[in-house]
Amino acid sequence: MSGEDRRGRAAARTWEEGTSGGGDRPRRDEWPQGSTRLVYCRRKMDASRRQGGIQQLLAAEQEAQQIVNAARNAKSARLRQAKEEAEREIAEYRAQMEADFQRKVAESSGDSGANVKRLEQETDEKIVQLKQQAANVSPEVIQMLLRHVTTVKN
């Protein structure tokens, strides 16, 4: 037998028998009952897959957290934008209402001069009317007063 062939068989024998003194290979008495080298390798691969699965889960959790944070930031940005738009609309409405109010005040103050003239005219007419009524009733009132003053009652 060649030297390389002997070494390969010896390595296989030590693996199966668990006589190796070093490395990450377990001794045969550490193998689970009734298992072979293939079963052990599969179990070791399953463990490494589980570790990989855990790493994948952690990575997915971090990615999900980033997505949630991005959504929160987008929501707060939309809320800020909506608030600014609402404030802008309120300012426009307030300006419009103030302009309407100022226009009505200007109209009514312009009318106040006309209203004052109209009220003065109505007042003058009432005064003339009252003077005419007083002039018509004045002789009767004077007669009634003289009669009461001159009449003596016992």
Q: What is the pLDDT of residue 66?
A: 96
Residue pLDDT tens, the chain, 154 long: 555 455 444 444 444 444 444 555 556 555 555 556 655 666 666 666 777 788 889 999 999 999 999 999 999 999 999 999 999 999 999 999 999 999 888 777 766 677 788 889 999 999 999 999 999 998 998 999 888 888 887 6
Q: What is the pLDDT of residue 105?
A: 83
As a whole number of angstroms, the distance between CA 83 and CA 69 comes to 21
Distances (CA, A) of 138 to 71, 115, 135, 141, 147: 94, 34, 5, 5, 14
Which residue matches tokens 């802008």?
88
* Tokens encoding 73: 């930031």
pTM, entire model: 0.38
How many Cβ atoms are within 10 Å of 37's Cβ, its own excluded?
Answer: 14
Give Dmax (Cα) for the chain. 179
Give the rounded distance of the alpha carbon of 109 from its chain centre: 44
Q: What is the pLDDT of residue 108?
A: 74
